[in-house]
Amino acid sequence: MEKPNLTYIESMSGGDKAFEEKLINIIKTEFPQEKEAYYNNLAEKKFKETAENVHKLKHKISILGLEKSYEVAVAFENNLLQGNIDLSEEFESILTNITNYLDQ
């Protein structure tokens, strides 16, 4: 599985460490809340809302340099809009991967 990294954040910052730190802190604050909302909506079978949660999360996936995981998120978001949860396990392993990275 791909490993989250700061390459994209560093390329956006132009070397501005304060900007990098601020963006990382935003991700660390928002990610757990968005992940919790995802799990709650999925458990309640609110697939449209779950797709919206995936949409928000996929931006963080992209920012953390997870290109293949981003593709999974796009496919899963589209599946959810059709009431299909086939990629949920793969998506949730991505969430776990990011959680472990942010907890370091």
Domain coverage including residue 78: 17-102
Residue 1 has pLDDT above 90, yes or no: no
- Note whether 102 and 33 are within 8 A (CB): no
Q: Is residue 3 part of a domain?
A: no
pLDDT above 90 (res 37): yes
Please report whether residue 9 resides in a domain.
no
5 in a structural domain: no
Q: Does any domain span residue 26?
A: yes
pLDDT in tens, 49-101: 999 999 999 999 999 999 999 999 999 999 999 999 999 999 999 999 999 99
Residue 32 is assigned to a structural domain of this protein: yes
Output 40-48 pairs: Cβ under 8 A, ≥24 positions apart: 42/85, 42/88, 47/80, 47/81, 47/83, 47/85, 48/80, 48/81
- Closest residue by Cα to residue 1 from 72, 88, 102: 72
2 within some domain: no
Distance CA 18, CA 34 (A): 24
40: pLDDT confidence band, cut at 50, 70 and 90?
Answer: very high
Residue 55: burial class (beta carbons within 10 Å; 0-12, 13-18, 19+): middle
Please name the residue that has the structure tokens 């340099």.
65
For residue 61, is it within any domain? yes
Q: Report if residue 54 sits inside a domain.
A: yes
Number of domains present in the structure of the chain = 1
